[in-house]
Amino acid sequence: MKRVLLLCNKVPFPPRDGSTIAMASTIRSLIHAGAEVTVLALNTAKHKVVDFSAVDKPDGVNWNIIDVNTSPSFTGLLSNTLFSTNSYMVTRFDRKDVRRKLRRILESEAFDAALIEGLFMMPYSDEFTERKIPVYMRAHNVEHQIWERHIQREKSVLRKAILKIQNRRLKKYETSSLSEVKAVLPITDVDAQWFLKSLNESQVYTLPCGINPESYPNYPSSTPDVFHIGAMDWLPNVDGIKWFAQKVWPELMKINRESSFHLAGRQSDTLGIHRPELGFFVEGQVRSAEKFYEKHGIFVVPLLSGSGMRIKVLEAMAYGKAIIGTTIAVEGIPIESGVHGIIADQPREFAKAIDKLIVDSELRLELGKNARKLVQEKYDEHVLGVNLLNFMAR
C-alpha cells in the first residue's frame, strides 16, 4: 500500500475554491485507491478554517494543520524586491515552524512518496530528498504565466516594474525547482507542454482535477438568468469579472435589457460593481454554493488570464449547466464550442452568446446535458486516483 504525504498551502476541507476542490479530490481519490494518506496543511490567515474538527472530511487521513500568516504586504514586497534576489511569492511560504512540524512527521512515520500541492510549497522539497523520499509536484498552474498575463494589463508603472522583477524570479524558481522532483503532475496537457521543456516524458504526468459524479446533482439551466461564483481574492478572477461588468454587460444591455446577472464568492462584494438598476447583482459570499448553482441558469466564465484548469468550470459542467467562457477559461478542458458550451473572447461576441442562450431554452438544456456527460466520462476522481498510484509505482 502506498504511504503518501501531501503538503498543502491551504486546508483542503471544506473545499471552497479551485485549489482546495482539486486538493480535496486528490485526497479522496487516493484513499479510494487504497493509499495511506497523511496531510500537512497550512491554515493561512487569508483562507482560515476556524474549527477544523467540525469540518466534514474523509475518514482515515492523518491530519496535521498548522496556523500561519503568509499574507503578502506591500512593504514586504518592496523590501524583498530591493534587498533580495529570491521570489517574494515563494519565500513567504517557507517558514521555520512549518519546517519543524514537517520534520517531526518525517521522523515519526515512513512514506513512499511526497505529493507537494503547488509550487509555493516546493521550498520544503529538500526535507524529502534528504530522506530519499520521491517528490511529486502537483502543478495547479504554470505560475509565472498567470502573472505574465496579469502584468500585461497592469496600469501602474511602479507596480508593473516591481511585478516584472518578481515574475522573473518566480519563473527562475519554477524552472530550477524541477530538479528536486521525480515527476510533475500538471493539471492540463497545455501546462504539461511547458514542463516538458525541462523534463522528459516519463517525468510529466497530466493529472486533471477529478470530481465524484455522485456528489453533483443534475441542475439543468432551466432559468434564463446569468451567474458566476468564484473567489474574488484571486487576481485573474477579479480582472475577468471587471471586464465582464465593464465591457460585456453593456453590450448585452443593448440587445436584451431584461437580462439579470448574479455574482457570488469570497470578497465579490468589495469590487464595487453592484448595479441592480442594470440587472447586475453582487451577492457576496453565499452560504451554499450548491444552492446557488441550483437556483441560476447560464454560467459565465470571463477569464482573461490564468493557467491550469478552472475547477469551477468542471463543477458547473457536473451540475449540468450551460456554460459560456473565454478560450482561457476552458483551457485544458475538451469543450467543443456549440456542443458542451460556447466559447467567446470578445465583448460583443460574449454578449450575443448570452442572449442566444437566454432566448433558446432547448439549446441551453442541450449544452448542459452534454457538459455533464463529458465530465462524468473524463474526470471521475476514483479512476484518476488509481491511475495516479499506478504512475507513482513505476
* pLDDT for res 1: 55
CATH of 3-210+380-392, one of 1.10.10.60, 3.40.50.2000, 3.30.1370.100, 1.20.59.20: 3.40.50.2000
Q: What is the pLDDT of residues 244-272, one digit of tens each?
A: 999 999 999 999 999 999 999 999 999 99
> What are the tens digits of pLDDT across the range 319-374?
999 999 999 999 889 999 999 999 999 999 999 999 999 999 999 999 999 999 99
Which three cell numbers, joined as nine digits, stand for 369?
A: 446535458
pLDDT category of residue 152 using cuts at 50, 70 and 90: confident
Nearest to 47 by CA among 231, 171, 250, 188: 231
* Averaged pLDDT for residues 60-75: 94
Q: Is the pLDDT of residue 40 over 80?
A: yes
Q: Which burial class, exposed, middle or buried, applies to 46 when counting CB atoms under 10 A from its CB (0-12, 13-18, 19+)?
A: exposed
pLDDT of res. 213: 85
| pLDDT (average), residues 69-81 | 93
Q: Which tens digit of pLDDT belongs to each residue from 93-134? A: 999 999 999 999 999 999 999 999 999 999 999 999 999 999
142 has pLDDT over 70:
yes
**Distance from the Cα of residue 274 to its chain's centroid:** 25
Across 76-96, average pLDDT = 95
Across the chain, mean pLDDT equals 95
Q: What 3-state DSSP class applies to 72?
A: coil
CATH topology of domain 214-378: Rossmann fold (3.40.50)
Domain with CATH 3.40.50.2000 in the chain: 3-210+380-392, 214-378
pLDDT at residue 195 greater than cutoff 80 = yes
3-class SS at 301?
strand
pLDDT for 3: 97
Is there a cis peptide before residue 14, judged by omega within 30 degrees of 0? yes
Give pLDDT, residue 332.
Answer: 86
CB atoms inside a 10 Å sphere around CB 254: 10
Mean pLDDT of 60-73: 95
Secondary structure tally for the chain: helices H, strands E:
15, 12
Q: Which of 255, 221, 227 lies closest to 241 in space, CA to CA?
A: 227
Taking the complete model, does pTM exceed 0.85, yes or no?
no
Percentage with pLDDT > 90 across the chain: 88
C-beta atoms surrounding 272 within 10 Å: 9
Q: Give the confidence band of 154 by pLDDT, cuts at 50, 70, 90.
A: confident
Phi, psi of 125 (to 5 degrees): -60, -30
Region 196-224: mean pLDDT is 94
- Residues 220, 295: contact at Cβ < 8 Å? no
Mean pLDDT of 169-184: 97
Residue 150 is predicted with a pLDDT of 80
